Copies of this chain bind each other. A is one copy, B any other.
Amino acid sequence: MNVTGHTRRPASIRDVATAAGVSYQTVSRVINGHPSVRPSTRERVLAVIDELGFRRNATALALASGRSRAVTVLTANTTHYGYASILRGIEEAARAASYAVGIGVLESADEPAVAAEVQRAADASGGLIVIAYDPAGVRALAAVPAELPVVGVVETPTSPPGGDRPWVWTDDREAAHEATRHLLSLGHETVHYVAIPSSTRRTGARTTGWRQALQEAGAPEPRPVQGSWGPAGGHAAGLRLAKDPSVTAILCGNDDLALGVLRALHETGRSVPGDVSVAGFDDAPHSAYLTPSLTTVRMDFTGLGRAAFALLHGVLEESAPIAPHPVSVPELVVRESSGPPQAGG
C-alpha cells in the first residue's frame, strides 16, 4: 500500500468515491454495511478502500453522528493495584468494543479542581466511568452533569452518591465479614481493623462488614484505626496497635496497609502469625510472596472494570442491552499470616 509515495492527507470517503466512480454517499453505505448496495458496487468500493488505505476519520464521525466511541475514566489514582486493575478491565472491554479509553486523574478533591476534571473528561468523550472509592471520586461522580452518560464504580450500592446513576460494585461488606469470621474462627477474641479512607465520611462497606461479624460473634468491638492508602499508613497504625498486648488479630483495609502493619509488628518484635494474625484485602500480586505470605481477600477488579464498561456501553448504544449490575464475589485466600492465637496470648 501507499504506492504513490508522497501521499499527504489520508484518503476521505470522497477520494474513495471518485476513484470508484460512485458518490460519497455510496461509500458511506458500504462502510456502514447498508444493505441496499449492489454487490458489484460494494466489491469495487471495498477494493478502492483497501487500495487507498482508507480509514474512517473518528473525529468527523463523532462530530457528524454525535456519538464519540470514546469513554473517559476518572480516578484519583493510577498506581495502586486495585485502581490500576479496574482500569485494565475497562480498557480490555473497551478495546473489544472498539472504543477509545481516556484517563483523567483527580489530583485533588477540591470542588473546583474536581469540576474542572469532569469538564475536561466530558469534552473529550461521550461517556464517563468514575471510580468513586474515595472522596475525590465521589465528588466527581456527583459533579457529572445529568445529561452525560456515566457509570460509577462504587464502594457500596446503598444510597449511591450519584443518585440514580448506574453503578457497579463488589461486595466489600460481605468480603470483610468473611475475613473477620475467618480470624474469629481461629480462636481470636476479637479482630482489630485498620481502615482505608472511606468513600464517605461515615463508615465504609469494609468497616461495616467487619463490625457485623464481630457483633454476630459477640466479640468486643475495638475502634477502627484510621490508615491511609499506602504502606506508610499501615506502618503507623501497626506501631500503635503493637503497643497493646491484647491485640492478636488485625484486619487491614488493603494489602498495602497490611504490609505496613507486618513491618511494624516485625520492628516491635511481635511474630506473625505467632503473636498476631494479619489479614489484608485485594490480593495484590506481591501478597503471596511476602514473608509471611498474606492472608487476604481476592477481589476481581478486572472483572469489575469490564462490567463497568459493559454497563456504560449499554447506555451509550441503546442496541446493547444493559446488563443488571453484576456483583463479583470476593474470595478469601488463607495464607501464612493468619493462625490461631498462642496459648499464653
Contact = CB atoms under 8 A, between A and B. Distances in A.
Interface of A: 8, 55, 57-60, 62-63, 68, 70, 72, 78-79, 81, 84-85, 87-88, 91-92, 95, 98, 100-105, 107, 117, 119-120, 123-125, 147, 230-232, 234-235, 256, 259-260, 262-263, 266, 285-286, 288-291, 293
A165 to B, nearest CB: 19
B289 A259 contact: yes
Contacts of A291: 262-263, 266, 291
A39 B293 CA distance: 69
Contacts of A231: 285-286, 288-289
Contacts of A81: 79
A84 B55 CA distance: 31
A22 to B, nearest CB: 24
B105 A102 contact: no
A182 B124 CA distance: 48
A6 to B, nearest CB: 11
Number of this chain's copies in the complex: 2
A123 B147 CA distance: 26
A103 B102 contact: yes
A270 to B, nearest CB: 12
28 contacts: A8-B147, A57-B63, A58-B123, A59-B59, A59-B68, A70-B102, A70-B124, A72-B100, A78-B84, A79-B84, A79-B85, A91-B103, A91-B104, A92-B107, A95-B107, A98-B120, A100-B123, A100-B125, A101-B104, A102-B102, A231-B286, A231-B289, A232-B289, A235-B289, A256-B286, A260-B289, A262-B289, A266-B291
A186 to B, nearest CB: 22
Contacts of A62: 59
B105 A88 contact: yes
Given A78-B91, A92-B105, A263-B290, A58 B235 contact: no
A96 to B, nearest CB: 10
A230 B285 contact: yes
